[in-house]
Amino acid sequence: MGLVGSGIMGSGIAETAIESGYKVTLLSRTPESAQLIVASIKDSFERKIGKHKKTSTQADEELGRLSVTNEISDLADCDLVIETVVEDLDVKLRMMRSLDAVCKPSAIIATNTSTFPVIELAAATSRPDKVCGIHFFNPAPVMKLVEIVKTLVVSEDTIQAANSFALSCNKEPVIVKDQAGFIVNCLLFPYLNNAVKLLEQGVASMEDIDTAMKGGCGFPMGPFALLDLVGLDTAVSILNSLYDEFKDPNFSPAPLLKRMVTAKLCGRKTRAGFYKY
Ligand code: 3HC
């Protein structure tokens, strides 16, 4: 399989796929970002070896299945390619066109988009019946869910292949209609946005809001820790897409969230967001 993009999702899906036996070619823009991905997967494997979850022989075998490249033509023979590039529609459309030009005609081209209409990305290719959403969650090696997004024109074979792929990665896939936010983000992001609005209103401190949602709802992380994990820039982009689709004020990004993105306080990826890292 091929993976495009060297962000958190590209790295997490690559880790999951090589652990599941797939041979992965990962396309990234620069050799430096590709090396960062390899280093972060190696770190993760070291931790798993330390916890006796795998042996160093297994880790070496799995890493042997990963190759990184800066040449899109190296994806020509892949049966499945998943794009995980930045959540920007123009960038994703350009990537879909380039993948369509390079990948063999039988290849499935999937997108890990969180909110963009998958049909728009499919329509940019000459094979809309072979394009679907395969939406992993962050951190991909840990989160069980994968949303398989079904457009109006995708073939049943493509959906079944995507579903089988997710199952073979030991995930729990669900099939969902091509509508902004699918299931999880449509429910999760108004909650995260409203947490920021509560903070703006001075109802409680962010630490207390996080404590409340962990202790009161059994969530593994409070909303501010989760926003930092997802990335505030990604969160604003998801909220904007949801707002564009539904025009529901609940989806309109809280002003503080937008200001923090402008200030480059994007969460873990910039080492500072609501918390410092
Ligand atoms: N890569 C690989 N493994 C990881 C990892 C990573 N990035 N982060 C954590 N892990 C593993 C740890 O190694 C550990 O494994 P073990 O149980 O086998 O030892 C396990 O996950 C638990 O990790 P920790 O003990 O370090 O920490 P926690 O118990 O606090 O768990 C967490 C961390 C899994 C991130 C947990 O807090 C969690 O589930 N948080 C909620 C995450 C969430 O809601 N994600 C969805 C975001 S929305 C999204 O992705 C949609 C997108 O479109 C924006």
- CATH code for residues 186-270: 1.10.1040.10
Q: Where are the beta strands (DSSP E) in 160-264?
A: 172-177
Closest CA to 4 of 159, 112, 150: 112
Q: Whose CA is nearest to atom 37 of ligand 1?
A: 220
Atom of ligand 1 nearest to the CA of 53: 18
Three-class DSSP category at 61: helix
Which of 46, 87, 142 best tests ligand 1's pocket when mutated (most atoms within 8 Å of CB)? 142
230: Cβ below 6 Å to ligand 1? Answer: yes
Residue 254 Cα, ligand 1 centroid: separation in angstroms?
Answer: 26
Q: Which of 112, 185, 193, 241 is catalytic?
A: 185
**In what side-by-side order are the strands of the sheet with 145-150?**
66-69, 24-27, 2-4, 80-83, 108-111, 131-136, 145-150, 172-177
CA–CA gap between residue 260 and residue 274 (Å, rounded): 9
141: Cβ below 6 Å to ligand 1? Answer: yes
73 is catalytic: no
60-101 pLDDT, tens per residue? Answer: 999 999 999 999 999 999 999 999 998 889 999 999 999 999
52: Cβ below 6 Å to ligand 1? Answer: no
Q: Which CATH class is domain 2-177?
A: alpha beta
123-160 pLDDT, tens per residue? Answer: 999 999 999 999 999 999 999 999 999 999 999 999 99
137: Cβ below 6 Å to ligand 1? Answer: yes
Residue 158 Cα, ligand 1 centroid: separation in angstroms?
Answer: 29
163 is catalytic: no
Q: Which helix (H) or strand (E) holds 135?
A: strand 131-136
**Domain span(s) for CATH 1.10.1040.10 in the chain:** 186-270
Residue 142 Cα, ligand 1 centroid: separation in angstroms?
Answer: 5
Residue 138 Cα, ligand 1 centroid: separation in angstroms?
Answer: 7
Residue 90 Cα, ligand 1 centroid: separation in angstroms?
Answer: 30
Q: Which of 28, 135, 163, 193 is catalytic?
A: 135
pLDDT of residue 6: 86
**Domain span(s) for CATH 3.40.50.720 in the chain:** 2-177
Buried b or exposed e, range 41-80, using 16+ CB within 10 angstroms? beebbeebeeeeeeeeeebeebeebbebeeebebbeebeb
Q: Whose CA is nearest to atom 38 of ligand 1?
A: 220
Q: Which of 6, 28, 114, 193 is catalytic?
A: 114
Q: What is the pTM of this model?
A: 0.94
Residue type, 51: K
Which one is predicted more confidently, 6 or 265?
265
Q: Is the pLDDT of residue 57 over 90?
A: yes
84: Cβ below 6 Å to ligand 1? Answer: no
Which one is predicted more confidently, 6 or 273?
273
pLDDT of residue 31: 86
Q: Compute how many other C-beta atoms are within 10 angstroms of the C-beta atom of residue 247.
A: 9
70 is catalytic: no
CA–CA gap between residue 85 and residue 64 (Å, rounded): 24
240 is catalytic: no
Q: Is the pLDDT of residue 8 over 90?
A: no
Mean pLDDT of all residues belonging to the chain: 96
Phi, psi of 275 (to 5 degrees): -115, 170
